Structure 1
């Protein structure tokens, strides 16, 4: 997946600008993002603090590692079953 050019802290700052009363179109134009991107960020990061966003990122990373471990284990099990069934 492509790395965003904005960090979580910057995204939350952009969302706070709009919450402070600036029109969404102005905020998007100022930061060079589309309206779709803004609303996608708002659905993911809306109402979060910076610490919440960092916690979310660490949980997503941990979840990805666990999924990878599970996939590798399932592959190993499938290979072992295949080898034992041939004998």
Structure 2
């Protein structure tokens, strides 16, 4: 029989931090990066204000600039959002069900016509 180890205070705190990690929306990330581009405050001050790591900010900044570069170079293909993906999957499921229903109806009609011959 296994006994569970009592978590140490350090692991307990890490687990709480992991579960309470803030999730920033794309709009929030863009606003933070745009705020930095205005250069009214330093990056360090901006990161303290929004309680983010500087490395996180620089990652967002790089992604923002890369997306702009792609768009300006004529790359208009964009990645689908999760809502769009789920809508397409739902539509695909419905279409597959319709095809399956039509195939069954076809088989029934075909068999009934074969019986008449």
- TM-score of the superposed pair, with normalisation by structure 2: 0.39
Give the Cα–Cα distance (whole angstroms) in 2 for the partners of residues 16 and 47 of structure 1: 14
2:6 is aligned to none
Task: State the Cα RMSD in Å.
Answer: 3.5
Residue in 1 that maps onto 2:59: 40
Structure 1: tracts of 5 or more residues without a match: 63-87
Which aligned segments of 4 or more residues in structure 1 are displaced greater than 4 angstroms?
none
Q: Could you say which structure has the larger radius of gyration? A: 2
What is the aligned counterpart of 2:49 among 30, 48, 57?
Answer: 30
- Structure 1 residue 20: deviation in Å? 0.7
C-alpha offsets along residues 4-36 of structure 1, whole Å, 9 cap, x if unaligned? 611000000000111111210011000000010
User: Matched residue pairs, number?
Assistant: 58
Matching residue within 16, 20, 23 for 2:34: 16
Q: RCO greater where, 1 or 2, for CA within 8 Å and sep 6 or more? A: 1
Task: Please say which of residues 40-49 and 22-31 is displaced more in the overlay.
Answer: 40-49
Question: What residue is the counterpart of 2:10 in the other structure?
Answer: none
